Amino acid sequence: MDDRIIKTEYSEVMQKSFIDYAMSVIISRALPDVRDGLKPVQRRVLYDMHELGIRYDRPYRKSARIVGDTMGKYHPHGDASIYEALVVMAQDFKKGQVLIDGHGNFGNIEGDGAAAMRYTEARLHRIAQEAFLADLDKDVVDFLPNFDETEKEPSVLPCKFPNLLVNGSEGIAVGMATSIPPHNLGEVIDAVKAYMLNEDISTKELMRYIQGPDFPTGGIVTNKDELLSIYETGVGKIKVRGRVEKEKGRAGRTNVVITQIPYPMIGANIAKFLSDVAALAEGKKTADIVDISNQSSKEGIRIVIELKKDADVDNFINMLYKKTRLEDTFGVNMLAIADGRPETMGLKQILKASVDFQFEVNRRKYETLLSREQAKREIQEGLIKACNVIDLIIEILRGSRDRNMAKACLVDGVTEGIRFKSKESAVMAGYLRFTENQANAILDMRLYKLIGLEIEALINEHEETLSNIYRYEDILERKSSMAQVIMNELDEMKRQFAVKRRTRIDNCEEAVFEEKKAEETQVYCLIDKFGYSRIIDTAAYERNQDAILTENRFAFLCKNTGRICLFTNTGQLYTVKVSDLPFGKFRDKGVPLDNVSSYDSTKEQLLLAVSQSDLNLYRLLFVTRQAMAKIVDGGEFDVTKKTVAATKLAEGDELVSVAVYKEQKNIILQSCDGYFLRFLISEIPEKKKAAIGVRAMKLSGSDKIEAVYYTKNTDETSVAYKSRNLVLNQIKAAKRDTKGTKVRG
């Protein structure tokens, strides 16, 4: 037993296992192959459909049938990923060239998902059949065993054009990701031909053919001058805008109509765009919007924004570019599997890999075709020769006892045992020297082949075979001949499947939006106990004052152009622009403070929220868990940074209370052990925010400050403490830095 136990370092096992896992994800799951531009799951779906005979000229089949067959034979990783891959290959708004012809609900550009696989049907698109799968029977690619070694699958499909560029790809592996934009098929084919004619062509010269990405959603690429660097390095950012038109609206108004969207806006981001535009109006960023409607249909995108008569339309469009995702960025990282390893490649490298693959595929294709034609020539020559001595052959067949005897005579001239009509026939039979394949063909030949027209057809077929052999040998021996064959196939692909460019490539000036300054008004900021905040106008506050004070933890007056300050128990100060908070009704839910600031409600406790403008008028009282206290001038917190340290804390300490010092006279500190200390606030010195402060109460052992209360001399203030109602004003007054009075429940 001990001989089978391998002792090794745990870290080494973890390292090896993680590397194996990472490489499996990178090579076998997430990244496309540069040769056919497909991920393994996509390749397996297409090959399985080919094997099932679900071709472009045949009826549709249920998607569930395809997914199940693919999962059972080639891709045992769950049906969801397989169906998702199938759906994406059928969506014309995601792919430059769809590879699957879907029938049924395959989702839409607005983010609605496809129907369940049991409802939808699919078949191969013609381009997939002709450009990816047509030559698989000609030994053009290697076949590998599937996961359980019961089937064979192609290691790569013999794609006839650089699909990696035409359809692009997106995928996240372990420690790396790929993001390749789609391109125009016609332009890519022109670039391939240009590279084949001049392998020293530069990327800049190639870009005379490939202008840039061609997104299925159209749009406008605005940074044309940066594309050269992106295509040389394979990495960069492409800025894309939606296409906007102006139309005359009703009552003399102008409509801004969005007819094309940026590619990254596909899906749920269209709904987000609509909500962002609505938020601009609700947040008083613009008062120009009268109505917004999404009139998109199968014919295309059409989002209509109706503006007021006196609206500055150009400024409004620029605002959409600046404030919404109507202008977005597509991150490019042209990472793919090349020679079995992930590699970031530029445009020329991708074209080179594709062309090299095409030469390899065509070499194997024409070697197979040549071999087949040579085999046909051998048979044809044997049959033609047999027709010339058909009487002798018939005599041999009639005189032989079995097939083997006749075959031996035809191949080796063995005449023993065969009954001939004459000695001359026996002598002539001894000189026959057919090959074994020719002899089998003669023995299998039917009598109708002896008809004159059939013999003539055989001779014509033989001449055609000789012509094919000559042509195939020329293609295999001369690189220029093979290059011409590849270019002819590319021209045919372009003729059948190329479409006009949809995306405009240009150098556009950056959108300049002159934001109108909001009229400064007084509003109320409300923060409830769950940390949700919103802004309401003063009239709404006055109408619902009692309910607001009951239901909200903080409610204070501020300016709509100002900031609010959030003080937390960790000693941090977070500032939030009032304009970043939603303006709405008293009962609206609002937005979490976590979303508009660096405040983290899961790790911190909010102690005070106040208008920043009020801090200049007052001072703040700080008390920590370890009974350190100080007063700080509010002007020290008049900052523009989003996060600053509000105070200095000793190690292991935290704030218990932060309060605005207005009319309070006394401070009461309550400890966890039940001690209460009341003294005058005036005994606490004023310090800088960077100071720790002074000790306000003597604590024994592990005792800590639990709560802090403030009172005025004239007002009686009581709190619930254990089982009694404690009047704070009746606690014996003392001095700062004393132990206080023990209060029993």
- 384 and 459 in contact (C-beta within 8 Å)? yes
Q: Provide the token pair at 725.
A: 């109602």
Report how far apart the first and last C-alpha atoms of the chain are (Å, whole number): 69
Instruction: Name the band, by pLDDT with cuts 50, 70 and 90, for residue 80.
Output: very high
Mean pLDDT of all residues in 298-320: 88
Range with the poorest average pLDDT among 16-30, 174-188, 372-386, 449-463: 16-30
Return the pLDDT at 219: 93
Instruction: Name residues whose C-beta falls within 8 Å of residue 586's C-beta, 6 or more positions apart in sequence.
Output: 526, 536, 540, 541, 543, 544, 547, 548
Gap between the Cα atoms of 13 and 535, Å rounded: 57
Residue 585 exposed, middle or buried by CB count within 10 Å (0-12, 13-18, 19+) = exposed
For residue 745, pLDDT over 80 is answered with no
Helix %, strand %, coil % for the chain, to 5? 40, 25, 35
Strand order in the sheet with 694-695: 655-661, 619-624, 628-633, 694-695
Name the 3-class secondary structure at 15.
helix
Instruction: Name the band, by pLDDT with cuts 50, 70 and 90, for residue 437.
Output: confident
Return the pLDDT at 283: 66
Task: Give strand ranges (E) for 399-551.
Answer: 504-505, 522-528, 532-537
* % of the chain residues with pLDDT over 70: 96
- β-partners of residue 537 are 523
What does 629-653 look like in DSSP terms, one character per residue?
EEEEEGGGG---SSEEE-S---TT-
For residue 454, pLDDT over 80 is answered with no
Return the pLDDT at 22: 66
Give me the count of residues in the chain: 745
- β-partners of residue 338 are 341
Task: Look at strands 628-633 and 619-624 and give their pairing.
Answer: antiparallel
Gap between the Cα atoms of 526 and 88, Å rounded: 45
Instruction: Name residues whose C-beta falls within 8 Å of residue 422's C-beta, 6 or more positions apart in sequence.
Output: none
Question: Which candidate in 21, 60, 83, 119 is catalytic?
Answer: 119
Q: How far is C-alpha 340 from the geometric centre of its chain's CA atoms?
A: 23
Gap between the Cα atoms of 576 and 591, Å rounded: 12
Task: Give strand ranges (E) for 175-267.
Answer: 177-180, 220-221, 235-241, 243-248, 254-260
Crossing angle of the two packed helices 63-73 and 79-88, in degrees rounded to 10: 120
pTM recorded for the entire structure: 0.73
Mean pLDDT of the chain: 89
For residue 461, pLDDT over 90 is answered with no
Gap between the Cα atoms of 113 and 126, Å rounded: 25
Range with the poorest average pLDDT among 172-181, 429-438, 549-558, 642-651: 429-438
List, for residues 245-267, the tens digit of each pLDDT value: 998 888 778 899 999 999 999 88
Measuring CA to CA, which residue among 568, 567, 643 is closest to residue 610? 567
Instruction: Name residues whose C-beta falls within 8 Å of residue 566's C-beta, 6 or more positions apart in sequence.
Output: 573, 574, 575, 576, 593, 597, 599, 606, 608, 609
Calculate the CA dihedral of residues 267, 273, 278, 281 and round it to 10 degrees. 180
Instruction: Name residues whose C-beta falls within 8 Å of residue 229's C-beta, 6 or more positions apart in sequence.
Output: 236
Q: Provide the token pair at 295.
A: 């009139």
For residue 162, pLDDT over 90 is answered with yes
Mean pLDDT of all residues in 733-743: 90
Q: Provide the token pair at 207.
A: 């870009």
Contacts 24+ apart (CB under 8 A), 289-298: 290/253, 294/110, 294/270, 296/109, 296/110, 296/270
Name the 3-class secondary structure at 694.
strand
CA distances from 223 to 139, 173, 348, 396 (A): 44, 29, 20, 82
For residue 1, pLDDT over 60 is answered with no
Measuring CA to CA, which residue among 658, 312, 682 is closest to residue 513? 312
Domains of the chain: 38-158 (3.90.199.10), 243-325 (3.30.1360.40), 354-495 (1.10.268.10), 522-742 (2.120.10.90)
Catalytic residue status for 119: yes
List, for residues 598-633, the tens digit of each pLDDT value: 899 889 999 999 999 888 888 999 999 999 999 999
Count Cβ atoms below 10 Å from residue 394 Cβ, excluding itself.
Answer: 12
- 505 and 221 in contact (C-beta within 8 Å)? yes
- 215 and 182 in contact (C-beta within 8 Å)? yes
Task: Give strand ranges (E) for 44-150.
Answer: 61-62, 100-103, 121-124, 143-145
Instruction: Name residues whose C-beta falls within 8 Å of residue 53's C-beta, 6 or more positions apart in sequence.
Output: none
